[in-house]
Amino acid sequence: MEQDGDGVSVAVHVQPQAGRTAIVGRHGDALKVRVAAPPVDDRANEAAVALIAEMFDVPPTGVRVVSGDRSRVKRLHVDGIELETAVELVDRALEQAAEPPGPRRRRQRD
């Protein structure tokens, strides 16, 4: 991640058609995200942009794909955020991703 003009540039590794949309960790230097959307008609990119926008608390219009729009590894630009704040928000998201999920409820059989 680096300061880039009026915002930050973030490397993101996107896994499309996942069971859920979430930030799940790191993939090398990139932030790894899973999106439920398929990689068709730009839907996986849109889902990744929405997820990153939510994490940085900016509108989806404040996040754009700079490179890798047809690749799993993308570079996204997030407008209006300082590097220090971005690092804190990414660290918080990664901490939450590392927490074990809550207990699963089993379905009762009739």
Rounded CA gap, 58 and 6, in Å?
Answer: 13
pLDDT of 71 strictly over 70: yes
For residue 23 the two structure tokens come to 């930030």
The one-character DSSP state at 72 is S
Chain segment 22-67, per-residue pLDDT in tens: 999 999 899 999 999 999 999 999 999 999 999 999 999 999 999 9
Full set of structural domains in the chain with CATH: 2-98 (3.30.1200.10)
Rounded CA gap, 31 and 55, in Å?
Answer: 12
Kindly report the average pLDDT of the chain as a whole number: 90
Instruction: State which H helix or E strand residue 2 sits in.
Output: strand 2-4
Q: Identify which of 10, 4, 56, 14 has the alpha carbon closest to the alpha carbon of residue 34.
A: 14
Residue 3: partners with Cβ closer than 8 Å, 6 or more residues away: 9, 82, 83
Chain segment 13-25, per-residue pLDDT in tens: 999 999 899 999 9
Q: Report pLDDT for 97.
A: 80
Q: Report pLDDT for 95.
A: 86
pTM for this model (two decimals)? 0.84
